[in-house]
Amino acid sequence: MNFQKIDDQVIVRNEGFEETAEKLKPVLHETAVSPKALVKVKADEAVIHGWKTEFIAPISALSQNDYGKNDSFILDFGDHYVGYLSFDVRPVGSPPDAPLKLRLTIGEMPVEMAEPFTDYDGWLSSSWLQEETVYVDVLPGAITLPRRYSFRYVKLEVLATSPKYRVAFENVECRAVTSANQIGVATLHEDQLLQSLDEISIKTLAECMQDIFEDGPKRDRRLWLGDLRLQALANYETFQTNDLVKRCLYLFAAVPDKGGRVAANVFVAPQLIADDTYLFDYSLFFLSTLRDYYTATNDLETLKELWPTAYRQLELALERLDENDILRDSPDWWSFIDWQDGLNKQAPSQGVLIYVMKQAIELSSILQTEQTEYLKLRLKEIMAATKEHLWDEEKQFFVSGQDRQVSWASQIWMVLAGVLPQQENRQLLNRLFQENPDIGIATPYMYHHLVEALLHAGDKDRAILEMKAYWGGMIKDGADTFWELYNPHDKKFSPYGSYLINSYCHAWSCTPTYLIRKYNL
Ligand code: RAM
């Protein structure tokens, strides 16, 4: 163990855990894929973001064309991929008497091919937008682009040749990568839509599985605990690349702060670094992810080794309870829950706490630790306090924060926490759909929890209906992989100020495969 200081965040580095994680570094499987067609983008108010692509020619047409200054074309790979791009370029005409200058724009969605990145004015860095300027001094040339991209479309613009020569392109290829063990995931559903939801979820998951479970291969390309928990669940039902989950658990456990708190996300290069963001729910999900990992693998050794880290998250969470056993609320970013604007986090976080406490009791019973009895007692007290202080008898809803806000997230997490008896859970969700409070759901992440809450409450029919409508809506709107954000009533929605920066292949959106398989839908 040693201490590392990053501003006022003191990290305790557990080198043993770091080594375990390092040893579990996965092998990346590679597949070569080629573009399918040349396309153009066309404005269309009826489609998402107002842009669609239209077929121009099969890819065989590419090498038959040549291009001069200000010419451009768009390649469509026909599906979403994550990988490394390369192509050959040769001169046509006189000997090339000047370098060739190209711009490549690489995108997951048609809008990224249509709207210039210079117009971007969101609050996340524009450096996430995928583009390259390439100079070729010697022609013909074999070009390999430097970065890994997450994309379906590639726009190539010839910025400069010389008046004496033009260029032709061929052998465009993507070396697609994933650490998912691709063998043996058969999808066989009689229902066509469930089949598509399953397949697209699996593709989304695979593309987020790299050196770690990334949240999104375009952005943030990072290991976030909330995403990891859901990816791991989907993985147990599909690829069962379980060592990757183990690796990620050890990465988080290797760099807690000096109080033992695990970060909401970690960076893995150039070395393992904990981000200085801590979220109440995400820290608790370390325990949840460990519990799910143990349930899937029976790996008792890992459970024993990581239990102290997991338990510490619960201890820290319990310290946030006030004298009434209700979580102290605050206006800062203390708990994530969802990107929903105006959402008060108190009640949903209380639900998360109870949900995780139950899992902690499960684990501590397996490990026969002395904490079990204490946890059982505290759980009873906290459940009683929750009903007393957060249940509004008049409104017949759980309320959150000083303004007693009624939100979808609060009801959903209280159902998952099992605060009310089964029958009442179902009535609560029925009421939620009927009264439809304004503070709704902003992400597939929260939508996942809605569907799972319906399943917990025994409403399988509505769970399927909701899942089909929401993720099926994305498919209708053109999803090859499931998106980070999707609001069917505001398809341009982004919490970051621009839909250009949204991730269109996102870990937390891959859960239909888990829901379908786990609950036999
Ligand atoms: C965004 C990403 C990530 C998520 C965090 C809280 O940055 O979508 O996946 O976990 O928010």
CA-based nearest residue to 353, from 323, 330, 319, 303: 319
Which residues are CB-contacts of 102 (< 8 A; sequence separation ≥ 6)?
89, 133, 134, 135, 136, 156, 157, 158, 159
Closest ligand 1 atom to 336 CA: 6
Work out the average pLDDT over 403-422. 98
Which residues are CB-contacts of 201 (< 8 A; sequence separation ≥ 6)?
234, 471, 482, 509, 510, 511, 512, 513, 514
Sign of CA dihedral 275, 280, 282, 285: positive
User: Which residue range is the domain that position 42 belongs to?
Assistant: 29-178
**pLDDT of 4 higher than 70:** no
Cα separations (Å) of 392 from 247, 312, 395?
A: 43, 32, 5
| Closest residue by CA, ligand 1 atom 6 | 336
* Residue 220 Cβ contacting ligand 1 at under 6 Å: yes
* Residue 214 Cβ contacting ligand 1 at under 6 Å: no
Domain assignment present for residue 357? The answer is no
Contact indicator for 398, 392 with CB cutoff of 8 Å: yes
Cα 91 to Cα 94: distance, rounded to the nearest angstrom: 8
- Cα–chain-centroid distance for residue 55? 30
* Residue 81 Cβ contacting ligand 1 at under 6 Å: no
Work out the average pLDDT over 17-35. 97
pTM of the model: 0.97
Instruction: List pLDDT tens digits, range 155-180.
Output: 999 999 999 999 999 999 999 999 99
**Strand 51-58 to 397-398 pairing:** unpaired
Instruction: List pLDDT tens digits, range 196-213.
Output: 999 999 999 999 999 999
What is residue 3's predicted lDDT score, i.e. its pLDDT? 52
Mean of pLDDT over the chain: 96
Distance from the alpha carbon of residue 108 to the mean position of ligand 1, in angstroms: 18
- 378's enclosing H/E stretch is helix 371-390
What is residue 515's predicted lDDT score, i.e. its pLDDT? 98
CATH number at residue 120: 2.60.120.260
* Residue 227 Cβ contacting ligand 1 at under 6 Å: yes
Instruction: List pLDDT tens digits, range 428-474.
Output: 999 999 999 999 999 999 999 999 999 999 999 999 999 999 999 99
Contact indicator for 317, 284 with CB cutoff of 8 Å: yes
50 band by pLDDT with thresholds 50, 70 and 90: very high
293's tokens: 């990992």
Domain assignment present for residue 170? The answer is yes
Domain assignment present for residue 44? The answer is yes
Give the per-residue SS3 of 93-139: ECCCCCCEEEEEEEECCHHHHHCCHHHCCCCCCHHHCCEEEEEECCC
Domain assignment present for residue 240? The answer is no
Distance from the alpha carbon of residue 47 to the mean position of ligand 1, in angstroms: 26
127's tokens: 């450096």
Domain assignment present for residue 81? The answer is yes
Domain assignment present for residue 108? The answer is yes
Instruction: List pLDDT tens digits, range 258-287.
Output: 999 999 999 999 999 999 999 999 999 999
CA-based nearest residue to 29, from 140, 183, 170: 183
* Residue 329 Cβ contacting ligand 1 at under 6 Å: no
CA angle (88 as vertex; 86, 94 as ends), nearest 5: 150
What is residue 1's predicted lDDT score, i.e. its pLDDT? 43
Distance from the alpha carbon of residue 146 to the mean position of ligand 1, in angstroms: 25
What is residue 185's predicted lDDT score, i.e. its pLDDT? 85
- Cα–chain-centroid distance for residue 505? 7
**Which mutation among 123, 208, 214, 215 tests ligand 1's pocket best, with the greatest number of atoms within 8 A of CB?**
215
Domain assignment present for residue 358? The answer is no
Q: Which residue has the tokens 């593709």?
A: 203
What is residue 508's predicted lDDT score, i.e. its pLDDT? 98
Sort 46 into a burial class: Cβ within 10 Å, 0-12 / 13-18 / 19+. exposed
**pLDDT of 126 higher than 90:** yes
Tally of domains within the chain: 1
Cα separations (Å) of 97 from 72, 88, 92, 136, 293?
A: 21, 19, 12, 12, 61
| Closest residue by CA, ligand 1 atom 5 | 224
